[in-house]
A and B are shown apart, each in its own frame.
Chain A
Amino acid sequence: MIHYSWFILFIPLISCLTIVLLTRKYKDLSSYISIAGVAIPFILTLKPFFALLGSHGHFEPIESTLVWIDVPGLTVKMGTLIDPLSILMLMVVTGVGTLIHMFARGYMHGEEGFSRFFACLSLFIFSMLGIVLSTNYLQIFIFWELVGVASYLLIGYYYEKESAAEASVKAFMTNKVGDFGFILGILVLYYTVGSFNFYEIQDILATNGATYATGTLTIAALLIFAGAMGKSAQVPLHVWLPDAMEGPTPVSALIHAATMVVAGVYLVARTYPLLVLAPAAMETVAYVGGITAIFAATIALAQNDIKRILAFSTLSQIGYMIMAMGVVNLATAEVYTGYSASMFHVTTHAFFKALLFLGSGSVIHAVHSQDIWDMGGLKKYMPITYWTFFIGYLALAGLPPFAGFWSKDLILGAAHENGFHILFYLGTIAAFLTPFYMSRLWFVAFTGPKRTDHHAHESPLIMTFPLMVLAVLAVISGVIGEFGIPGVYHGFSSFIHYGSDPHGPLHLDIMIQSTIIAALGLFLGWWVYGRKQITESEDPMKRWLSGFYKVLENKYYFDELYFWFIRNVYNRISAFCNWCEVNLVIGFGVNGIAYLTRQSGAVLRLSQTGKVQSYAFIFVLGVTSIVFLSVF
């Protein structure tokens, strides 16, 4: 019996294969197939979604599996898992995915390899849904790698451009570092607990979790978190995400803002039963997230590329999510506020960050430049993009009542009430920096007169329609998530939660505080960049931060550090291994044996005289020797 969720999973794959094998030459048809390949799963997802809404928080997980490996001592199943968490992710991935696919149809118009682009997008949707629907760690790992492949293909879409090709390799290799930890973590966990399945592990750990050594569980949790760090671009594995902006903008919106990069958050959520038993790992999660949040926010201050600013903003927001996952006071926790807050932020962030990326895509499409100092004066020429971007800007800035405010507030509240004061202040600073750098982006790129002689024009409807839908979602999703819809459900946390529903009273003090901080950031941004028009050389950040601006512009020299490491340490180790391989293994081992064989052959072949009688003599000699042995 095939569960309907199998169709959700495989329809994008079918559309990908159809485009690759059949319709590559018919561009329009390819794009429609690809859009259908994500829209149909979206419609199918509505069924469990409404079931979830109507369940009042008592949704029983549905697993539909087939046995994949069955040998004595190891049974691995592949299948689909429908539970609140996966339904939420399905909605986000397919919903945002559908809108971005539509946008991409307009954006990529006339590009070379149009069909290839949509085939890759469908492959990505398939792999992402595979992650979301996985029932066990082994399956999630397979799809985890598959999204890596899809991401690689899409970042390197303009493969004739060297920077894009390098960025795709960089993304892939950086992810591999995390994935190596991930697979090790899976193995450690299996070795310890004896299962790959999420719910089985949860049950085992819940009933007799105390019997396992905390150290082992911590190692397993940290290793699995390494995978999440790679995919979600957390410090220090963040270096690939800014470069990934080399891909087409819809790709940045879909993969590197809304869906794939939050797979790490999703993985942490899936690993929660394990993390709960490993306090050290939980704390690591919180601090890695917090550091990434503040770290990326500062870098965003000094970037001039519109997509890079948004990329660092994404890093910062994902840092928030990861931090929220980790801010749990395990000693006293009955409810896990951070868990719900994190997944809530995943959802709202997907909406407004996709909106911002698509808006920037619309602008790039019109202006043919990614530098914010090349833009300006867009209000008159592209009003829809202008106003929808404005909504996204305020949502990201965290101004009430837009979406970002509510989820960010919940995260800060969770950090505060669980006693993570350092992280709370880091988050608050990041919450101040975010509206500031977004104001910089907004006032420089959008308002005022034109900075260069560009011929901006409004994008076609197929591009503006997704913007409008996302703008609406960016406005209302926060309120709906926070307060729920009367008579339908009681807020986001009523169905996405670990333990019991953490829905508590609003943190009014924190709300007021963060509103003031956001407003302050916005005002300062306006005061610096919006009051009068300034040029790039006049950017006051350079004056204020002086030498530190250079550090920020170069992203804290992380790339240089890694390059130095690769050049001086890694390459030397490689050279040494290469030397060993060439000289010891090949030179001595392989060629040595060959040389020995050849030389002994050269000596021994002299015994082959070609004369029959010499053979006969040796034959008789041999028989004589054997008989000699038997006689005496």
Chain B
Amino acid sequence: MQSAIPMEYFLVLSAILFTIGCIGVIARRNIIVILMSLELILNAVNINFVTFSYYLNNMTGRVFSLFTMAVAAAEVAIGLAIAVNLVRVRKTMEIDEIDTLKW
């Protein structure tokens, strides 16, 4: 055994963080907080990647967590730019007040 900590501990932790992120995305109204919740979700996934990489003795998971970080960085850059523009144009940070794309 490589570590005293069982793998399931990490998986459950990742699941909890993931769920917190989900709740943040669904429940909060502030667009900045929603973007932060998205980061939480991505990090939860990263934990999973690294956990499996470590416990299953496979390097691919680590490589992919690196890629996730890169994509997260790009996503945050674009997302925040959109958020800033949105607030400039619509004068609101509340995401449920923006529904122009409805039926």
Contacts and interface: CB of A to CB of B under 8 A. Distances in A.
| A and B bind | yes
A616 B99 contact: no
Q: Which among B26, B95, B98, B99 has the greatest number of chain A C-beta atoms within 10 A? A: B26
Interface in B52-103: 95-96, 98-103
B25 interface: yes
A626 to B, nearest CB: 15
B95 A611 contact: yes
A613 B102 contact: no
B22 interface: yes
Interface stretch (A376-384, A390-398, A602-610): A602-610
A632 interface: no
A606 B22 CA distance: 24
A613 B95 contact: yes
Contacts of A613: 25-26, 95-96
Nearest to A605: B103
A628 interface: no
Grouping DSSP codes into helix (H, G, I), strand (E, B) and loop, the B interface class, with mixed when no group exceeds half, is: loop
A617 B34 CA distance: 13
A1 interface: no
Nearest to B103: A605
Interface string A615-632: 011001000000000000
A606 B103 contact: yes
Nearest to B102: A610
B103 A608 contact: yes
Interface residues of A, number: 11
A610 B100 CA distance: 6
B26 A609 contact: no
A26 B82 CA distance: 74
B102 A608 contact: yes
A574 B95 CA distance: 62
B102 A609 contact: yes
Contacts of A610: 98-103
Interface string A577-621: 000000000000000000000000000011011111100110010
Contacts of A611: 95-96, 98-99, 102
B25 A616 contact: yes
Contacts of A608: 101-103
B31 to A, nearest CB: 9
Nearest to B25: A616
Contacts of B95: 611-613
B78 to A, nearest CB: 15
B99 A609 contact: yes
Contacts of B26: 613, 616-617, 620
A544 to B, nearest CB: 87
Contacts of B22: 620
A609 to B, nearest CB: 5
Nearest to B23: A620
A196 B92 CA distance: 82
Interface string A15-54: 0000000000000000000000000000000000000000
19 contacts: A605-B103, A606-B103, A608-B101, A608-B102, A610-B99, A610-B100, A610-B101, A610-B103, A611-B95, A611-B99, A612-B95, A613-B25, A613-B26, A613-B95, A613-B96, A616-B25, A616-B26, A620-B22, A620-B26
Given A609-B99, A610-B103, A613-B96, 16 more contacts: A606-B103, A608-B103, A609-B103, A610-B99, A610-B101, A611-B95, A611-B96, A611-B98, A612-B98, A613-B25, A613-B26, A613-B95, A616-B25, A617-B26, A620-B22, A620-B26
Interface of A: 605-606, 608-613, 616-617, 620
Which 4 A-B residue pairs are closest in the complex by CB-CB distance? A610-B102, A610-B99, A605-B103, A610-B101
